[in-house]
């Protein structure tokens, strides 16, 4: 209880004076600044050490990957160079019934086997007969033998070679992984499988396999051997471990965020509670993944030694800065006190309150803004009343303007009557279409049925044909009867027809055909308006598609009619509604999709 009361007294004393608050604030700022400086210094040294370690190891791993790929390519060239294609294909096809052909297969396999000292065994599996020839150094007599295969062996071999577009693959054996053939894998490193195809049918004829010893490990991978505490892992394209430096490697849990230093990506890895930096390199052919794990303690050693010195320097700097902060805080609070007094006057309605502005710092700007605020408050109150009166006046004018459209509509009806009396049916039809369209446009409904919109489009088209000529404008309408009573935004279809006339007929002056199609598909009403005009330029089309895809987020004034229609569709029917434009040199299509 006593400690709580002392704390309350201390907090009250600090909060009673603005000077104390500033002193506490700046002290905290200085402490944070010094802490950040020490942290940044530590981070910089840590990053330099990390950059150096990762860069050097990445180059080393890249070299190992290139050497492994080169080793693979040498093996593949070996298999291909000793292949007389026509002869071996014929021998494989007929070896079961012809001894001489069988001898050719045996000679081919024997030549592969003895071509390099690192080949521990060689196999040739014939897919049509499920027989395989093999020769191995693990047997007492090094000679070519023939054994029967089975469906499981054939399927596994085909699966391995077909997983790669090159129709060859590398199988890791150094981790005692299971292999198709019965081999002692303790002294082996990998098995190289390659499929050879029948040219007419493009079906695999036989699969050649060579099992390689671990001499490559001593020649290539040992050059990148890890230092004490580090771990080196080599995996094949299927993720199987081909080689690792340590004997016991627990399951690796990765930090979900990867990091990048100088275009080199690394990951944070947890092994038994210890943090490692995992550097990974993929070989140029994508066949191998080489990873190296470096303990964080090895990299952070140099940065940790500098951290203690930074903390001591920070304490000395803090004590010196507190004296300077106290002097500055007193100078800052003096004009703030004067500003506080004038704000009290303003709060009780005295808008004549004013603060003397001194200097050009932030406090001077605050004082100046306060003076402007006091002067403008009275002006804003007066303008608020003026705006309210203007709003009421505008509302009255809007009500009066409602009378004018009805007057114009009645006048058009009277003119059409006179046209009938004068036996001028063409003028009667035009005026009647105009009055019908006018009445449709001024109706208060924003949503109409598709049937109503089509009636309006027909009236609109009658007027356009009178303008351009009957033979210049043809409208082909194909409407699903189920869609006639579905509601759409008013003037939506007319806008698309008008767009075709504007960008096709008015530009070319030649006859155009406008196709209007509406159908229901996948719980959507699809309306498409197409024309056979000149189309839209590619750059303009891309810009238009961008505007229509997000009309609510775009202030572009280009094609404002289509943009407004897209906006209405989104506001009325939600985000699933859309308006799309597509165009070629043979015409343009505008597509409306409305969810049902």
Selected residue with higher pLDDT from 189 and 558: 189
Encoded tokens for 228: 């004490």
pLDDT digits (tens, 9 = 90+) for 491-524: 889 889 988 888 888 888 788 899 999 999 999 9
Residue 284's pLDDT is: 84
Q: Of 131-145, 253-267, 308-322, 508-522, which gets the smallest average pLDDT?
A: 253-267
Residue 24's pLDDT is: 72
DSSP conformation class of 504: I
- CATH assignment, 17-334: 3.30.450.20
Q: Of 26-35, 177-186, 214-223, 413-422, which gets the smallest average pLDDT?
A: 413-422
399 has a pLDDT exceeding 70: no
pTM, two decimals, is 0.43
Q: For residue 206, what are the β-bridge partners? A: 126, 196
Contact 471, 511 (CB under 8 A): yes
Residue 554's pLDDT is: 59
253 has a pLDDT exceeding 60: no
Task: Give the model's confidence band at 403: pLDDT under 50 very low, under 70 low, under 90 confident, else very high.
Answer: very low
529 has a pLDDT exceeding 60: yes
C-alpha to C-alpha distances, 223 to 81, 125, 220, 510, nearest whole angstrom = 30, 35, 6, 77
How far apart CA 162 and CA 127 sit, in angstroms, is 14
Residue 261's pLDDT is: 43
Contact 158, 206 (CB under 8 A): no
Contact 583, 539 (CB under 8 A): no
Residue 17's pLDDT is: 65
Residue 417's pLDDT is: 65
Average pLDDT of the chain to the nearest whole number: 76
What are the contacts of 556-562 at 24+ separation with CB within 8 A? 561/495, 561/498, 561/499, 562/495, 562/499, 562/590
Residue 349's pLDDT is: 65
Range list for CATH 3.30.450.20 in the chain: 17-334
Encoded tokens for 517: 């199609």
117 has a pLDDT exceeding 60: yes
Q: DSSP per residue over 58-79, as a string?
A: HHHHHHHHHHHHHHHHHHHHHH
Range list for CATH 3.30.565.10 in the chain: 472-595
Selected residue with higher pLDDT from 378 and 143: 143
246 has a pLDDT exceeding 60: no
| Helical segments of 82-173, H only | 85-94, 99-113, 151-162
pLDDT digits (tens, 9 = 90+) for 276-293: 888 888 888 777 788 888
Residue 394's pLDDT is: 47
* For range 228-236, the mean pLDDT: 76
464 has a pLDDT exceeding 60: yes
- List the one residue out of 516, 445, 513, 460 whose CA is nearest residue 483: 516
C-alpha to C-alpha distances, 189 to 170, 221, 292, 400, nearest whole angstrom = 10, 11, 19, 94
Residue 402's pLDDT is: 46
132 has a pLDDT exceeding 70: yes
- Find which of 176-185, 280-289, 554-563 is predicted with most confidence, using mean pLDDT: 280-289
Task: Give the model's confidence band at 383: pLDDT under 50 very low, under 70 low, under 90 confident, else very high.
Answer: low
Q: Of 97-101, 226-230, 388-392, which gets the smallest average pLDDT?
A: 388-392
* For range 119-127, the mean pLDDT: 91
Residue 34's pLDDT is: 72
* For range 366-394, the mean pLDDT: 65
Q: Which CATH architecture does the domain made up of 472-595 adopt?
A: 2-Layer Sandwich (3.30)
Q: Of 5-19, 124-138, 538-552, 577-591, which gets the smallest average pLDDT?
A: 5-19
* For range 184-204, the mean pLDDT: 82
Q: Residue 236: how many CB atoms within 10 A of its CB?
A: 19
């Amino acid at each position: 209880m006593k400690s709580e009361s002392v704390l309350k007294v201390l907090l009250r004393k600090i909060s009673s004076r603005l000077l104390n608050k500033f002193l506490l604030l700046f002290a905290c700022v200085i402490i944070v600044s010094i802490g950040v400086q020490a942290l940044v210094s530590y981070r910089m040294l840590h990053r330099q050490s990390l950059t150096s370690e990762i860069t050097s190891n990445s180059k080393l791993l890249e070299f190992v990957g290139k050497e492994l790929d080169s080793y693979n390519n040498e093996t593949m060239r070996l298999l291909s160079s000793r292949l007389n294609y026509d002869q071996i294909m014929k021998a494989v096809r007929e070896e079961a019934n012809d001894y001489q052909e069988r001898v050719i297969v045996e000679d081919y396999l024997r030549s592969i086997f003895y071509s390099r000292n690192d080949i521990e065994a060689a196999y040739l599996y014939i897919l049509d007969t499920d027989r395989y020839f093999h020769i191995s150094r693990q047997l007492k007599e090094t000679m070519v033998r023939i054994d029967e295969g089975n469906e499981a062996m054939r399927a596994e071999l085909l699966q391995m070679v077909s997983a790669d577009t090159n129709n060859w693959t590398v199988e890791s054996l150094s981790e005692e992984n299971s292999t198709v053939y019965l081999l002692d894998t303790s002294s082996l490193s990998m098995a190289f499988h390659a499929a050879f195809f029948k040219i007419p049918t493009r079906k695999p004829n036989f699969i050649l396999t060579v099992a390689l010893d671990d001499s490559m490990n001593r020649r290539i991978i040992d050059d990148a051997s890890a230092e004490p505490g580090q771990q080196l892992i080599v995996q094949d394209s299927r993720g199987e471990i081909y080689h690792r430096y340590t004997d016991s490697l627990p399951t690796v849990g990765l930090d979900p965020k990867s990091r990048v230093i100088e275009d080199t990506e690394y990951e944070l890895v947890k092994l038994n509670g210890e943090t490692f930096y995992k550097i990974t390199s993929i070989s140029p052919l994508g066949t191998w993944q080489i990873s190296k794990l470096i303990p964080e303690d090895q990299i952070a050693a140099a940065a940790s030694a500098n951290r203690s010195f930074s903390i001591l320097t920070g304490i000395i700097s803090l004590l010196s800065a507190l004296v300077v902060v106290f002097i500055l805080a007193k100078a800052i609070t003096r004009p703030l006190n004067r500003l506080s007094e004038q704000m009290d006057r303003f709060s009780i309605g005295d808008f004549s309150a004013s603060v003397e502005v001194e200097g050009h710092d932030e406090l001077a700007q605050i004082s100046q803004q306060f003076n402007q605020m006091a002067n403008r408050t009275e002006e804003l109150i007066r303008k608020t009343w003026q705006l309210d009166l203007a709003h009421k006046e505008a509302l009255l004018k809007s009500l009066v303007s409602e009378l004018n459209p009805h007057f114009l509509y009645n006048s058009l009806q009277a003119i059409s009557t006179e046209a009938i009396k004068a036996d001028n049916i063409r003028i009667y039809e035009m005026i009647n279409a105009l009055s019908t369209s006018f009445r449709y446009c001024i109706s208060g409904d924003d949503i109409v049925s598709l049937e109503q919109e089509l009636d309006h489009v027909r009236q609109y088209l009658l007027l356009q044909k009178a303008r351009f000529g009957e033979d210049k404008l043809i409208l082909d309408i194909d409407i699903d009867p189920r869609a006639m009573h579905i509601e759409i935004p008013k003037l939506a279809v007319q806008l698309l027809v008008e767009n075709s006339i504007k960008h096709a007929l008015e530009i070319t002056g030649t006859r155009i055909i406008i196709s209007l199609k509406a159908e229901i598909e996948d719980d959507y009403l699809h309306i498409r308006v197409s024309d056979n005009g000149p189309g839209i330029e590619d750059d303009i089309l891309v810009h238009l598609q961008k505007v229509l895809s997000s009309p609510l987020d775009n202030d572009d004034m280009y094609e404002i009619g289509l943009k407004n229609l897209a906006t209405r569709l989104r506001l009325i029917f939600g985000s699933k509604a859309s308006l799309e434009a597509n165009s070629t040199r043979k015409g343009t299509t505008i597509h409306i999709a409305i969810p049902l």
